[in-house]
């Protein structure tokens, strides 16, 4: 496979994964914004929906973004030498881990608490705390994802150049 074809393939995978990731975040935001906290059954259904989106779309999309991005860094010397690419890689790993710890696990925990509240074994007030945790984690992950997008578009030089175009140092 030619280097140019590999680069285009990795870029396409990265962009498709990013679309899936942001779409998943958007769907979770809509579900959280409309989650009825006065009905444990309905709240549990919404959290189960978020859990399914996370399991079947968000986590796989994030994995595609992360793996394709790391492979692009490995395949392209310009990316290996660019600090912005490494910042993106670190943020990507943080988003992946944060999503697993906050969005995915909070939704699963909320669905379990809702089931307990329906059966009379839990307290509905716990659902409000889980909802707050879910919102906080989701907002942080979305903010980090947008920072990653800005870095990809902007591609800032995070350190000064050591030479000029003529080969002379300033």
DSSP secondary structure string for all residues of 75-131: H-HHHHT-HHHHHHHHHHHHHHHHIIIIIIHHHHHHHHHHHHHHTTSS-THHHHHHH
Tokens representing 49 are: 């929906």
List pLDDT tens digits, range 85-134.
999 999 999 999 999 888 888 877 877 777 777 777 666 677 777 788 88
In the prediction, which pLDDT does 166 show? 40
DSSP one-letter code for 120: T
Mean pLDDT, residues 71-98: 92
- Report how far residue 10's alpha carbon sits from residue 93's, in angstroms, rounded to the nearest whole number: 17
Confidence tier at 2 by pLDDT (50, 70, 90):
confident
Say which residue, 104 or 61, is predicted with more confidence.
61
CB atoms within 10 A of CB 28: 27
């Amino acid at each position: 496979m030619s280097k140019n074809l590999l680069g285009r393939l990795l870029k396409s995978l990265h962009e498709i994964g990013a679309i899936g990731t942001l779409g998943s975040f958007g769907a979770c935001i809509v579900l959280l914004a409309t989650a009825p906290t006065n009905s444990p059954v309905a709240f549990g259904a919404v959290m189960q929906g978020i859990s399914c989106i996370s399991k079947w779309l968000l986590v796989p999309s994030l994995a595609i973004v992360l793996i394709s991005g790391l492979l692009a860094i490995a395949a392209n010397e310009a990316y290996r030498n660019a600090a912005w690419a490494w910042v993106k890689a670190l943020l990507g790993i943080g988003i992946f881990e944060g999503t697993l710890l906050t969005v995915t696990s909070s939704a699963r925990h909320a669905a379990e608490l809702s089931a307990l509240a329906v059966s009379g074994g839990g307290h509905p007030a716990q659902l409000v705390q889980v909802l707050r945790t879910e919102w906080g984690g989701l907002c942080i992950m979305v903010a980090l994802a947008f920072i990653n997008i800005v870095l990809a578009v902007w591609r800032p030089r995070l350190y000064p150049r050591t030479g000029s175009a003529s080969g002379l140092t300033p």
